[in-house]
Each structure stands twice: as C-alpha cells, then as structure tokens.
Amino acid sequence: MFSKALARVPRRWVSTSNKPWYITTPIFYPNAIPHIGHLYSLVTADIFARYQTLKNPSRPVCFVTGTDEHGLKIQKAALDKGLFPKEFCDAISQQFRKLANEADVNFTKFIRTSEEAHYTSVEHIWRQLDRLGLIYKGSYSGWYSITDECFYTEGQVLHIAEDGNSPARTISKETGATVEYSSETNYMFRLSEFREALLQHYTSNPNSVVPQSHHARLVSLLQSPLEDISISRPRSRLSWGIPVPNDSEHTVYVWFDALISYLTGIGYPWPDSGMSKGWPVDMQVIGKDIVRFHTIYLPAVLLALGLPLQRQILAHAHWTSSQKKMSKSLGNTTDPFQAIEEFGIDSIRYYLAKVGGRFQDDVGQYWSHVQLAKHDKELQTILGNLFMRITSPAITSRMAPASSDIHNETFVPLLQASKALPSLVSSHMDRANVADALEAVVDVLKLANKCLTDAVPWKSSPEVARASYDSCLEALRVSGICLQPFIPRVAAELLDALGVSSAERSWNHGHTGSLGNVVSGVRLFRSKS
C-alpha cells in the first residue's frame, strides 16, 4: 500500500547531474491544423534550446514536442470528418511536424501519443501507481468539457438560463467551454496525498514556475486540500485512448496519458540501473491554460514514481484575436504557414519573441498583420540596411587601411555596448525574458545605425570611414552571434557575410571572436520567399 513517506521530495534531487539539457513544448491536440499560438510555444522553446547550445556547445540538448492524439475531442473531430481517429491524427499531426520544421524549430523528438512506445510507458506507470495503492475505483459525478478535456466541480461551472437566442447551458467559469454532466465509475488517483510535498517543493524553489505570478497562485492554491482526480473514462464513452491495464472497460484519461509523453519522449521506462539521459526536464514551455496539469498532476505522479520534479515551468500568455484567446474552437485563428510564406520565418520569430517574450499577460499580445509588417520592416532596416550601408563602396573605397591608431569618439559607446551585449542578453535569458534579451540586441543595432548617420563616413575623412567600418562590423558580428537563437536564418546569413567561421559562433565568441573576409553588398533576408 502507499505510504505517505513516498510523497516527500528526496534530498538527492538537489544535486545536478551532467545530463543533456532537456526542454519540452506541450504536445498539441491535432483536432485542427496548427495556428499562431502553437507556433509561439514552439518558437519560444526553440529560442531557449538554441541559446543553451550556444552557451554550452558540448552539452547535448533534448527537445521534445509532438501531438496529443487521444481523447473525446479527437474522437469527435474524426467522427465529424467520417475518419478513423488514427487516420485523422496521421494527417493533422503531420501538419504540426511540418510547422516545426518550417519554423526552424530544432526538436530532437516529435512524439505522437498513438505510438506503441508511449502505450508501454503509460501502462508501466499505471501499474506502478496501482502497485503503490495510489489508484482506486470510485464513482465520479461532475462536469466534463470535451473542448478542455477537463473535469470540473460544481463550483467551477456556471449555469446560464435560456434566453431568446440560446438554450440553457452550463459552462466552465474559467474557459467558457460548454460542460456536460456525467456520473460514472472511474479510476481515481490519490492526488490528495501529495499536497504537502508539492507545497514544500514550490516554497523551496521559487523559480520553479515562472513568471512569478503563476508561482504565487500555485503556492496559494496548495494551502487548501487537493481532491483526488479521475484518471479514466468508461470505454463506452471514450474508445479512442489507451485501455486501462487489466480492465478494458475503461480508457486512460487523456491528460494522464499526455503528461507521460514527456517521459516517453526520452525513452521511459529506462533501465532500473540508471536514470534517463535527460530527466529531469530543465524547462517546460506551456500556455497559462495548462499550468495546473503541469505543476500539480504531473509532479504528483513523478513524486509517486520517485522521479525528480521538473526544474522550471515557463507559462506563457495567450495570443488573442478579436479580444479573445486565439483558439481552434473559437475559430479566430491565423494560419502560420501563410504568415511564414508572406514574411519569412525570421520576421515571424522576431515578432513573436519581441511582443510575446515577456510571458506576462495577454495585454498587447493581439495578433496583428499590421504589427507583423512593422516588425518585418524594422528588422530589415536596423539589420539588413545597416549591413548594406556599412559594406557599400561609398565607405569601403575611401577608408584608411586598418590600424589600431584610429579612434573616433562617436563610436566609443557603440564598441562598449557591443562588448557588454552577450552578458546583457544572458542576464535577460537567465531570467526567462526573451523580449528584453532581443531588445538589448536591437538597441545595439539602433545605436550602430545612429552612429553611422552621425559620423557620415561617406563624406568624412578616411579615418572616420575606417572607424565607422570597424565598429559597425564588430557591432554586427556580436549582434549576429546573439541573434542566432531568435532569428537563426538571418543570423547565419549575416555571420556568413561577415566571414565568421562556424567555429567562432558560440556565445563565448561574442567576447573574443573575429571577422573573416567580409562580403560586401549581401542582401540579408534573401531566403524569404
């Protein structure tokens, strides 16, 4: 039987192992084709993954993303299209994979929960929890939302009376999704046993959930008792899912199945003799709508299994459209493939990171074609035009030969800002602030543009032309290195044009690297369609 001693955070977890750095995105429901919100989670995780590789090139990165294919929502969507769920998922899952590829997202594993390996992993965990006495059969009466794939208590729903336009209905207070009443026999997980251990974990690890507001809410929530949760649905209702081991009358609840994908994604169940090569996950990027599942349900299961908890959960805000969360069910989505085709992926990544990279709240995070075009233009101006201007014959043909004696006061602040840039970007990234990290690079590029305009090197002395050239190229080199996580294609084109060798592109080279043969007149952004 389960002993409460199990629900404690073992001390050994405090030590850090020399394992790959592991990051995940949510696994997405393939009930409809992906939209900008999904691209945003993918790009956000990719920025952190690329940054890690640049900071620590010898440490491998595991990056798991994928699709969450079971459950009533998918079962229903497939039925509406007259397809078998697996066939339906095959097609749409492929779209998510395609999006990740088109967005230059460097995932190392794309998991599908319909894979056999995942069934094995879920069954393995179910049996272990059962053996520990953490699963029992109970009767569940309450509300269920197919849209949210979530159980709600009476206190979490709102009953709306019939009016002239719509019939009476009941909705979730939190999401507004329609819920339906069900009374059924389910398997339950003893979540209630884990409240104290979770509270202890979160109070002693204040950075385990960011932004801080989510951490504070969680700690406050954990002051009150947790109820046990239902982890199965009757097979008669839900046939598309993993059968409960030894009881084929029941299907594993889709969230229980989905959360385990983070373990399956790096080869769980791994041999008893050792831990996996990636666990614990270092960062989980999720939308703020699914914080509870990742900060309470998954950690409780991990505690039960004696596995270390996730190191950090980054809960981002939502992109809105027509003042509502952009979502498949509301039909207010933007097609990311079209946006990529029109602007090129780097401009989209730039816009997503700059506007959505503080992860605070939805205010201002509305998707706008006009804003996207503005950001695209800004990037071309501050980066593309700067490179064209500084390498143009108007400057290069008249500048004095390279010499360490040439100094020009106009460029001192730029050289200082370039030197300080990698550390400044790092300090923002370490606080999970992608927008300010990117903004710091933008500031240096704007300063370079301003210095150039002030110094008018195409009209000034050969020494001024030389000083402009050297300092702007150094600013571009350092910026190019720092931009790699955010806009990898353009950053690579820039570093190529500057002749920076591939061995000199890691974060350390921001301080110590050098230029090679600079190619003049390269139009950056040429890879855009």
Q: For the window 320-349, what string marks contact with ligand ME8 as x by the rule CB under 6 A?
A: -----xxx----------------------
Q: Between 29 and 48, whose beta carbon lies closer to ligand ME8?
A: 29
DSSP lists the bridge partners of residue 64 as 24, 109
What the block records as the tokens of 52 is: 């890690």
Which tokens is 413 given? 């602040």
Identify which of residues 182 and 329 has a Cβ nearer to ligand ME8 in the complex: 329
Say which residues have a Cβ less than 8 Å from residue 100's Cβ, sequence separation at least 6.
42, 65, 107, 110
CB 156, min distance to ligand ME8, A: 17
CB of 319 to ligand ME8, least distance (A): 4
User: Which stretches within 222-331 are classed as H helix?
Assistant: 254-259, 261-264, 291-292, 298-305
Q: Does 147 bind ligand ME8 (CB under 6 A)?
A: no
Tell which one of 198, 286, 313, 386 touches ligand ME8 (CB under 6 A).
Answer: 286
Size of the site for ligand ME8 (CB under 6 A): 21
CA distances from 119 to 189, 260, 318 (A): 19, 10, 31
Q: Kindly tell me which of 40 and 350 has the beta carbon lying closer to ligand ME8.
A: 40
Residue 232 phi/psi, 5-degree rounding, is: -150, 165
Q: Which amino acid is at 421?
A: L
Instruction: Work out which of 195, 318, 358, 375 binds ligand ME8, going by CB under 6 A.
Output: 318
B/e letters for 462-489, b = 16+ CB within 10 Å, e = fewer, are ebbbbbbbbbbbbbbbbbbbbbbbbbbb
Stretch touching ligand ME8 by CB under 6 A, among 100-108, 156-164, 257-265, 505-513: 257-265
505 touching ligand ME8, by CB under 6 A: no
Q: Are strands 61-67 and 109-112 parallel, antiparallel or unpaired?
A: parallel
Number of H helices, E strands in the chain: 20, 17
The 16-35 site mask, x for binding ligand ME8 (CB under 6 A), equals: ----------xxxx------
Main-chain phi, psi angles of 24, to 5 degrees? -135, 155
The correct pick among 54, 64, 258, 281 for binding ligand ME8 (CB under 6 A) is 258
Give 212-219's long-range contacts (Cβ < 8 A, gap of 24+): 213/360, 214/288, 214/291, 214/295, 214/313, 214/315, 217/291, 218/291, 218/295, 218/296
Q: Is 38 in the site for ligand ME8 (CB under 6 A)?
A: yes
The minimum distance between CB 238 and ligand ME8, in angstroms, equals 15
* 319 makes contact with ligand ME8 (CB under 6 A): yes
**Residues with Cβ within 8 Å of residue 391, at least 6 apart in sequence:** 497, 518, 519, 520, 521, 522
Q: Of 85-93, 281-289, 341-349, 403-411, which segment contacts ligand ME8 by CB under 6 A?
A: 281-289
Q: How far is the CB of 254 from ligand ME8 (least distance, A)?
A: 8
Does residue 315 bind ligand ME8 (CB under 6 A)? no
Closest CB to ligand ME8 among 175 and 479? 175
Name the residue nearer to ligand ME8 (CB basis): 435 or 522: 435
Rounded-to-integer distance, Cα 237 and Cα 258, Å: 19
Q: For ligand ME8, which residue of 46, 69, 193, 289 counts as binding (CB under 6 A)?
A: 289
Residue 436 Cβ vs ligand ME8, minimum distance, rounded to whole Å: 19
184-222 exposure pattern, b = at least 16 Cβ within 10 A, e = fewer: bebbbbbbebbbebbbebbeeeeebbbbeebbeebeebb
Q: Which is nearer to ligand ME8, 26 or 510 (CB)?
A: 26
Burial of 442 (0-12, 13-18, 19+ CB in 10 A): middle
Nearest-CB residue for ligand ME8: 37
- Of 72, 259, 382, 490, the residue at the interface with ligand ME8 (CB under 6 A) is 259
**Closest listed residue to residue 380, CA positions, set 343, 425, 422:** 343
Longest dimension (CA), the chain: 85
Residue range at the interface with ligand ME8 (CB under 6 A); choices 37-45, 168-176, 415-423, 511-519: 37-45
CA gap 434, 428 in Å, rounded = 7
Q: Which of residues 72-131 bind ligand ME8 (CB under 6 A)?
A: none
Minimum gap (Å) between residue 25 Cβ and ligand ME8: 7
- Exactly one of 85, 278, 287, 384 binds ligand ME8 (CB under 6 A); that residue is 287
d(CA 335, CA 353): 18
- Encoded tokens for 191: 């979540």
Which part of the chain contacts ligand ME8 (CB under 6 A), choosing from 81-89, 286-294, 456-464, 505-513? 286-294
Q: Which of 7, 20, 22, 37 binds ligand ME8 (CB under 6 A)?
A: 37
Q: Can you give the binding site for ligand ME8, defined by CB under 6 A?
A: 26-29, 37-38, 40-41, 68, 258-259, 261, 286-287, 289-290, 318-319, 325-327
